[in-house]
Structures are given as structure tokens and as C-alpha cells.
Chains A and B, each alone.
Chain A
Amino acid sequence: MYSGSRVSLLLGAALILAVGACDREERQSRSKPLAENVPAGQSPDTVYPGGAPVPPLDPRAAAYERNANALSQGQQLYMQMNCVGCHFHGGGGMGPALMDDEWRYGGRIDQIAASIAEGRPNGMPAWRDKLTSDQIWQIAAYVRSMSGQAPKDAVSSRADEVSNTEPMTQTKRETVRSADAAQR
């Protein structure tokens, strides 16, 4: 009786841990460092003549996208590097909206990182020489969180800015189409 309840208690604790672990951000404090380069040539396209496969998602994606520290660093950089002056808090202005489900140059994190690094022809500046690769990935992760792609336990619960935007935890998750390469 005694031992049995102890076992179930332990089991329960393990279960709680397991459930919790599912949603926890993944931090690999002793993993191998990631290559310091942005995926150049990560095309926003989904059509590959001759049937070549769509390139797989860059393995670094998860490390940034599910990481609270990366998201909050990205949020700060988004303000400091004046991304906010064009895209505001996702609604857009000079630049397109980032909180909706439309991605001109691909909505995958590696595609967004490529757009930030290389710039895009209708006015998006190239940031490759102003930011480190790590910073670019952080901003890309934050940009993805604007349309609700990041896990809710990893995003910031309050906005950095002074006005009246909703906290990121309230952001509705927009559908980004299969292969995350939705583009219109």
C-alpha cells in the first residue's frame, strides 16, 4: 500500500515533468556552437523546375524559435535597428505587415533570416554587414512570433513599447502554409 502509492506519486511526478517538458523551450547549454552564417540562397520560391525537392528547414530554426532568450533579444533588436519604423508592431507601414499570413519572400524562419540578411528588392535593406548572424536569427524568430508561430511559453508576456499593442502571448497563430514557404 505504502510502496504502491509512492510509486504512483513518482509516476505522476514523472508525468507532470514529461508534459511540462513537451512545451519547454529547448536550451542546449553545452551543444556544439552553430555555424555563424545565415542561410544564403534560401530561396522564397516553392517551384523547382525538374522536380528538385524544396530545401529542408535549416536545423538551427528550432534553437531560435523556441528559445525565450532569442525571442526577447530579437524583440529588442527589432526596436533598436528600426525594423519597427517600417513594419511597426506587425501591422506594417513602409514595409509589409508581419503579423498576417502573407509572406512575399517566404515565412519560414530561414527564409525570413535570408530576407533580413540579403534585403529584398522593393525596399528591404540588407542587414548582413550591420548585424551578426546570431542577431539576424533572433530577429527572424521574433518576426515569426508576430504571427503567433513561436510557442506561447517562449514569447514575452509584455510588449516592450509604450503604446497599446497586445502582449505576444495573446497573438493569434496565423496559418503559414505547408513547407512554411507560403508566398503570394
Chain B
Amino acid sequence: MPNDDGNWIMPGKDYASSRFSGLTEITPANVKGLGLAFTFATGTTKGFEAPPLVVDGTMYVITPFPNYLYALDLTQDGAPAKWVFKPKPAAAAQGVACCDVVNRGAVYSDGKIFFNTLDGNTIAVDAKSGKQVWRTTLANIQKGETITMAPLVADGKVLVGNSGGEMGVRGWIAALDAGRGKLAWKAYNTGPDKDVLIGPDFKPYYAGEKGKDLGVKTWPPDAWKIGGATVWGWISYDPELKLIYYGTSNPGPWNPEQRPGDNKWATGVFARDISSGKARWFYQSTSHDLYDHDDINESILVDYPVGKERIPALLRPGRNGFFYVMDRRNGRVIAATPYGFINAAKGVDLKSGRLIPVPEKEPKSGRVVRNICPAAPGMKDWNPAAFNPLTGLVYIPHLNLCMDEGVMEANYIAGTPYVGAEVKMYAGPGGNRGVFTAWDPVQRKPRWEIKEDLPLFSPALTTAGGLVFYGTMDGWFKAVDARDGKLLWRFKAGSGIIGQPISYRGPDGRQYVAVVAGVGGWAGAIVSGNLDPRDPTAALGMVNAVKDLPNKTTAGGMLYVFRLPG
């Protein structure tokens, strides 16, 4: 089945993770008339980060824990449910999920819906009948592993990675055979080369990534076994190079004094061969991460002008605050430009590829380091940007948060948090906690920006009609002009929005826009987890930055679908 603009079969829309819809019915001129077509209550009240999928007249919705999968019949008035699949994940998994019990999406391929459960299973369900085709257990909650990411399905493989960078797990990515769910390969992101699937094909661009068993040698003895480097974000795929691209999470624990060294292969990008899993290159954007600056953010694949030619490139709005343009054939950094306020790093040395930290911002035990920008969730967290090839802009929903941090020795106890840091976050310069930036990757500067009061944890959607959609944590779903960022339409949802908006063509031939409202996740846990705002350190220090959120929204889990009147 072609991945045309009528359907939306994977969270990133396509293997390039563009989040771009080619539909043109809804435009800046008529978006004012956008109204509700139907709604659907998912029956959950935890952070809703997943997008709906649309496949030939059926919409699929995967919920946060307990990970219900609904099929809604778009050919019927009001889109009634056809079936619901309940995978019944272990309740105990909720106790090892660092940042709410979220799920970032399902994927459709070849008649099946693939998704992960919080308790570490990958499941294939028949898209028509809603019956389970296979189920494979990959993660172990006893060790603190969960799975929250959306799988990527390509070349007959289902790619899945673990979560648990705050629990002292060892990060990995696995490929399952899409037909039967059997393990094809599994690559760890720490440890000896044979576990990381590093062999003769591994040709990183920078000298710092070259050498034997760096996944062992850049850690204190045995620390790599509990060193994080998980895969809870996004995977992109280049069908021509047959390479997958994904980022690795923070090293554990957060306390950097417990893990002297570069901590490979945490906080960087891997390119791997999809059929064998063998590593082709790696680039560590943040060596010896000091601040939980995971590098799991999306990689947007584009052709990028360098001199007179166009090269296959990766665009990465990084958590450390730099917007990276990279050559995706070899991992060379073409540009790394700040896209917000940074005081924890001076820049990126393009010769060595290394981030240049600011020494006085380095956390040390026995003191509290104040005003570190960007804070632990970075300049941008997991919520992906969208790329519109018609404007050439990357639309980045991101953060403007700084933090105070103190560190202390973390004890490793399997299945419990392994962090060793006390954090307190607050708004960065200007006082606004969120920013929506239209970034010009060629000019390497913002074209326009929208300041948002609350932190932005909603992904972006952009359309050929010339629009950009995103949501806010107090429940506004907005449409802005892709050219200048002018607010053209907005709708107040019943809960804050951190879900991924999509656009599709309905069975009636009309363009629809859909999003699920359901506040939660790391930033919204104060609402979905009923946390107490009097403790500034709660939820890893995030609560201090969003103390006002419980007055502005309530928990929910409601799908909203919009279209033009008539």
C-alpha cells in the first residue's frame, strides 16, 4: 500500500520523518472555518503522545498504559469503533516508567499494526480483525526497562529500542522479523564492539569515535553495564543507503562524577545497516553528558545544498541546543547552530565534532550550580519538528527552560531510579517557557518565532496547504501560517496537548486534521500524576517550572478530528 497523503501510516509520516502532509484543501485563507468532525474518548487520563494513524478508511489510536489499540471506522458517520485490542501489560511497569506511562505511537505495514507496550512487548495485530498476530517480549521491567517509543517498520523488520535511561538500564535497539516477530538482530549502545555490532564496516567521521571497544573504555569499570544510552525516541530510514538513523539517550546516572570518560555510545547518533544491524557510523553530539541531554530527537532526512551539489543530509534539532546539519552518508557535521539560549556550551568544534562545554556550569557534588541553560529536557525534548519542502523550513516546537542542579552519589538498585541529581527548573531568559521556531536550515537562523508561555511538548505538523499545526499544554490547538507564523485558527481542547497532530484524506475525499489531547509526560505529570507543586524537585525538577499547570488544564485523553464546513 502506498504511503500517500490520504493515509498516515507511521508517526513521522514517512521514513524521512518529515511530518509533512501534501494535502492542500485547508489553507491559510479558509482555515478559520475549521470545525469538529467527530471526537472519541480514549478512556485514559495519562500523557497522550501518540498520533492517530489512518489506513484506507480506518483510524487506529494507541493509548498510553494500558496501551489499548482502537480501530475507528471512518466510513461511518461519527467514526464508531470497530474493535479494541487490549494487550494487558503488567501493572508494575508503571513504576519503572520515568516520565509518565506514555506511548509514542503505532505503525501500519503490510496488513498489520505494530506497537510496543509499556511492559516491554512488541505486538503485531491484524489491521482488519484486531486479532494478535504475534507478541515478542524484548524488555525486562525487573531491570527498569520499559518501551515507550514507536517502532519503525522497514525492509521487513520492526525496529524497537528500550527506555529506562533514568533506571540504570543498558540501552539497545533490536530488529524483529515483521512476519513472525523473531529477533533478527540486537545491538547494544554500550559495551564491547561485538555487542554494539561494530565491525569492519564501522567508519565514523571523527577521530574521537575511532578505537576498539570504546563502549567499555570510555566508562569506569563495569559502569557501561548500567550506563543508559537507550533508544526511546525516533528512527528514520534511508531506503537507498539502507541505513537507519537513531539517537541514543543520556548516560546513567545523571551525576557525571560517577562516570568519567566520554561514555560511548550515549548521547549521539548511530547509522546502522538495516538488514544486519551493523554500525556504519556514529557521532557523539554530547560527550560525557552533564545534564541529561539525550540525543534521541528525530532525524529529518533531506537533500541539502553544499556548494553546487545537494547531499543526503540529516537535520537534527538537538537537545543540547544546537541545530545539526549532518552528512548522513558518513556522519560529518556540516553545521551546528544554537536555536535558542545556551550558556552551558560555547559551541561545537567542527574539526573534532566535539561540543565545547562551559566549565563553571559543570555539576559537582557539594555545590548547586545555578542557571544552566538549556535545562535537563534540553532545548527540545522528544516532540518532533516538521519539515515543509515548499517553504524549506523546519518547524520546531521547543523549550526555554534553565535549571539549578546539585549532584550526589546514586546507588544502583535494579529496578529503581539511578539518577543522583537534584534539579529545579524554571523559565529561561524572557520568561516564556516554550518557543515555536521556524528554522531555516540553509541560512542557519530562525525565519520567525512564536513565544509560548508554557513549555511546548506538542509535536508539529505542516501541510502543502501552507499551514503549521501544534498544541499547547493548556489545551489550545493552533494553526499558523507556514510563511510568517501568523495565528490563523485555534481550538480549546479539554486537556493539554502533547500529542502528534496528523492530516489525512477521509473516505469522502476531504482533508481532515486530527490530534489527541491528553496532558502528561514529563512536563505534564504534575497534572496526570497529581504531583504536589510545593516540592520544586518533583518529577526530576520539572514540577517547579510548571507549578501553574494544574490551574490551567486537567487530565484527559480525547481525540479531536477537524474539517472544513460543508
A residues lining the B interface (CB < 8 Å): 79-82, 84-86, 88-97, 99-100, 102, 121-125, 130, 161-165
**B417 CB contacts on chain A under 8 angstroms:** 82, 84-86, 94
Instruction: Give the distance in Å from the alpha carbon of A99 to the alpha carbon of B539 in the complex.
Output: 14
Structural contact, B537 and A88, CB atoms closer than 8 A = yes
Q: Is B93 an interface residue (CB 8 A)?
A: yes
- List 10 extra interface pairs beyond A85-B419, A90-B532, CB under 8 A: A82-B411, A82-B416, A91-B533, A94-B96, A121-B92, A123-B94, A125-B95, A130-B413, A163-B368, A165-B537
Cα A123 to Cα B93 in complex, Å, equals 6
**Nearest CB in chain A: distance from B366 CB, A:** 8
Interchain CB contact under 8 A, B424 and A164: yes
Nearest Cβ in chain A — how far from B256, in angstroms? 15
* CB under 8 Å from chain A, chain B span 370-401: none
Q: Find out whether the CB atom of A123 lies under 8 angstroms from the CB atom of B406.
A: no
Secondary structure of the B contact surface, majority rule? loop
- Stretch of B342-350, B351-359, B523-531 with 4 or more beta carbons under 8 angstroms from chain A: B523-531
Number of interface residues of B (CB under 8 A): 41
User: Does B422 make an interface contact (CB < 8 A)?
Assistant: yes
Q: Which residues of A contact B539 (CB under 8 A)?
A: 88, 91-93
For A163, the chain B residues whose CB sits under 8 A away are: 368, 404, 406, 422-424, 536-537
Alpha-carbon distance between A123 and B89 when the two chains are bound, in angstroms: 12
Give me 29 A-to-B residue pairs in the complex whose CB atoms sit less than 8 angstroms apart, sorted by A's number. Answer: A81-B411, A82-B417, A85-B416, A88-B535, A88-B537, A88-B539, A89-B538, A91-B531, A91-B534, A91-B537, A91-B539, A91-B543, A92-B535, A92-B538, A92-B539, A94-B94, A94-B417, A95-B95, A96-B530, A97-B531, A97-B532, A99-B532, A102-B530, A123-B93, A125-B415, A162-B368, A162-B407, A163-B424, A164-B537
Looking across the interface, which residue of chain A has its beta carbon closest to that of B419? A85
* Complex interface: chain A residues within 8 A of B166 (CB): 85
Q: Are B535 and A91 in contact (CB under 8 A)?
A: yes
Given the interface pairs A93-B539, A97-B530, A163-B423, the reply to whether A80 lies near B411 with Cβ below 8 Å is: yes
Contact of A161 among B404, B418, B537, B540 (CB under 8 A): B537
Interface members, chain B 79-103 (any A CB < 8 Å) = 91-98
**A82, closest chain B residue (CB):** B416
Say whether A92 contacts B95, CB under 8 Å: no
**Contact A92-B408, Cβ < 8 Å, known A81-B413, A86-B417:** no
* A interface: dominant SS: loop
Contact of A88 among B94, B366, B413, B538 (CB under 8 A): B538
**Nearest opposing residue in chain A for B365, CB measure:** A162
Asked if B530 contacts A123 (CB within 8 A), the reply is: no
Query: For residue B536, which residues in chain A have a CB less than 8 angstroms away from its CB?
Result: 91, 163-165
Q: Mark B60-83, 1 if CB is under 8 A from A, else 0.
A: 000000000000000000000000
Closest CB-CB distance, B418 to chain A, in whole Å? 7
Q: Is the CB of A100 within 8 A of B416?
A: no
Q: Within 8 Å CB of A96, what residues of B?
A: 529-530
Contact A93 B532 (CB under 8 A): no
Docked pose: A49 CA to B414 CA in angstroms: 40
Cα distance, A158 to B281, chains bound together (Å): 50
A81 to B412 CA separation, bound complex (whole angstroms):
9
A165 to B531, CA, bound (A): 15
What is the distance, in angstroms, from B12's C-beta to the closest C-beta of chain A?
28
Closest Cβ of chain B: how far from A120's Cβ, in Å?
A: 9
Say yes or no: B540 contacts A93, CB within 8 Å: yes
Q: Point out the residues of chain A lying under 8 angstroms from B418, CB to CB.
A: 82, 85
Instruction: Determine the chain B residues whose CB is within 8 A of the CB of A100 once the complex forms.
Output: 532
If A91-B543, A102-B530, A164-B424 touch, whether A97 touches B92 (CB-CB below 8 Å) is no
Q: Given contacts A85-B416, A85-B419, is CB(A93)–CB(B95) below 8 Å? A: no
**Cβ of B532 and Cβ of A123 under 8 Å apart?**
no
Task: List the 6 closest pairs (A to B, CB-CB), nearest first.
Answer: A123-B95, A85-B417, A91-B535, A91-B538, A162-B406, A163-B422
Residues 501-537 (chain B) with a chain A CB within 8 angstroms: 525, 529-537
Residues of A within 8 A of B543 (CB): 88, 91
Distance between B435 CB and nearest chain A CB, rounded to angstroms: 25
Closest chain A residue to B417, Cβ basis: A85
Instruction: Check if B406 sits within 8 Å of A93, measured CB to CB.
Output: no
A91 CA to B537 CA, complexed, in Å: 7
Q: Nearest Cβ distance between residue B50 and chain A, in whole angstroms?
A: 20
CA distance A95 to B535 in the complex (A): 14
A93 touching B529, Cβ below 8 Å: yes
Interfacial chain A residues near B98, Cβ < 8 Å: 94
The answer for the CA separation of A79 and B534 in the assembled complex, in Å, is: 19
Instruction: List, in ascending order, chain A residues with CB within 8 A of B366's CB.
Output: 162
- Closest chain-A Cβ to B557's Cβ sits at a distance in Å of 18
Shortest Cβ distance from A12 into chain B, in angstroms? Answer: 41
Give, as a whole number of angstroms, the nearest-CB distance from B495 to chain A. Answer: 19
Q: Determine the distance from Cα of A99 to Cα of B91 in the docked complex, in whole angstroms.
A: 24
Instruction: Report the bound CA distance from A121 to B95 in whole Å.
Output: 9
Bound-state CA distance A163–B369 (Å) is: 10
CB distance from B406 to the nearest CB of A (A): 3
CA distance A80 to B536 in the complex (A): 20
In Å, the complex CA distance between A91 and B540 comes to: 10
- A100 CB to nearest B CB, Å: 5
CA distance A80 to B416 in the complex (A): 11
**Most A C-beta atoms less than 10 A away, residue of B98, B532, B536:** B532
Measured between alpha carbons, how far is A110 from B534 in the docked complex, in Å?
A: 26
Chain A residues in 8 Å Cβ range of B538: 88-93, 97
In the bound complex, residues from chain A placing their C-beta under 8 Å from that of B95 are 86, 94-95, 122-125
CA distance A84 to B166 in the complex (A): 13
CA distance A121 to B415 in the complex (A): 15
Most buried by A among B366, B367, B535: B535
The reply to whether A122 and B91 form a contact with Cβ atoms under 8 Å apart is: yes
Residues of B within 8 A of A164 (CB): 404, 424, 536-537
| Residue of A whose beta carbon sits closest to that of B544 | A164
Closest to B406 in A: A162
**Residues in A whose Cβ lies below 8 Å from that of B533:** 91
Residues of the A chain whose Cβ atoms lie less than 8 Å from the Cβ of B423: 163
A153 CB to nearest B CB, Å: 22
Whole-angstrom distance between the Cβ of A32 and the nearest chain B Cβ: 33
B408 proximity list for chain A (CB < 8 A): 79, 161-162
Residues of B near A161 (CB, < 8 A) are 406, 408, 422, 537
Rounded to whole angstroms, the CA-CA distance of A25 and B540 in the bound complex is 34
B415 contacts across to A, CB distance below 8 A: 125
Of chain B, the residue at the smallest CB distance from A123 is B95
